[in-house]
A and B are shown apart, each in its own frame.
Chain A
Amino acid sequence: DVKVTQSSRYLVKRTGEKVFLECVQDMDHENMFWYRQDPGLGLRLIYFSYDVKMKEKGDIPEGYSVSREKKERFSLILESASTNQTSMYLCASSLPGQGYGYTFGSGTRLTVV
């Protein structure tokens, strides 16, 4: 069964810490995405990548960066965690081009205290 795996289900970090959220997919998908999900706001796109070492800003990239050194791994980095980054983070992957759905990971619920 195809899979997108997020390394942590729950995470608690302190304000100012550098936080790494890892995402690995086993489907050889070119496209990978990071979203955050907040009540009443739905899912908002943070960053995405269409290929190795390629990254593009989404709608809310401030305070985040990403790394894609290998095709299967897409990491989200919170440079200096803040309480307003407390959220559910969802990673997804897809085949390239139009007409393909996303496969999502189970999500990481991050709390910044």
Chain B
Amino acid sequence: SQQGEEDPQALSIQEGENATMNCSYKTSINNLQWYRQNSGRGLVHLILIRSNEREKHSGRLRVTLDTSKKSSSLLITASRAADTASYFCATDRTGGGNKLTFGTGTQLKVEL
């Protein structure tokens, strides 16, 4: 079963706008991670947020985590065409031994 479910499945915005993607999960976690995948390639690690953290920033990325609602969001500010990619959340479940469970992803398209 899918631990992480991203929402929306697809998102299309204009360059310069902000993009927000959400992730919901089902069980308790040690941490939650976000990855980017450019078309047909491997995934690239973007950011990790631990279960005792509520918000984290990295450059134009802002991640929030609400463990009471079992949800996370990824905000990309001032998006660029190069941000066009699929974005996946992945959870490291409590007791899971650093095995990540991935969601089905959000496809982001940033248009010029």
Interface residues, chain A, with chain B CB atoms under 8 Å away: 4, 31, 33, 35, 40-45, 48, 50, 58, 88, 90, 92, 94, 96-107, 109
In the assembly, what is the distance between CA of A65 and CA of B30, in Å? 28
Q: How far is the CB of A59 from chain B (nearest CB, A)?
A: 8
Q: Please tell me which one of the listed residues A40, A48, A105 contacts residue B104 in the complex, with CB atoms under 8 A apart.
A: A40
Chain B contacts to A: CB under 8 angstroms:
2, 4, 30-31, 33, 35, 40-45, 48, 50, 88, 90, 92, 97-105
Does B42 lie within 8 Å of A48, measured CB to CB?
A: no
| A98 to B48 alpha-carbon distance, docked (Å) | 11
From DSSP, what is the main secondary structure of chain B's interface residues? strand
Cβ-defined partner of B88 (8 Å) among A41, A42, A94 = A42
Kindly list chain B residues whose C-beta atoms are within 8 Å of the C-beta of A42. Answer: 2, 4, 88, 102-105
- Whether A104 contacts B92 by the Cβ 8 Å rule is no
Most chain B CB within a 10 A radius of its CB, from A40, A99, A102, A106: A102
In the complex, which residues of chain B have a beta carbon less than 8 angstroms from the beta carbon of A44? Answer: 102
Write the nearest CB–CB distance from B24 to chain A, whole angstroms: 14
| Residue in A closest to B102 when the chains form the complex, CB atoms | A43
Additional A-B contact list (18), CB under 8 Å, known A4-B42, A90-B42, A90-B43: A33-B99, A33-B100, A35-B102, A42-B88, A43-B88, A43-B90, A44-B102, A50-B97, A96-B98, A98-B31, A99-B50, A102-B45, A103-B45, A104-B35, A106-B42, A107-B40, A107-B42, A109-B40
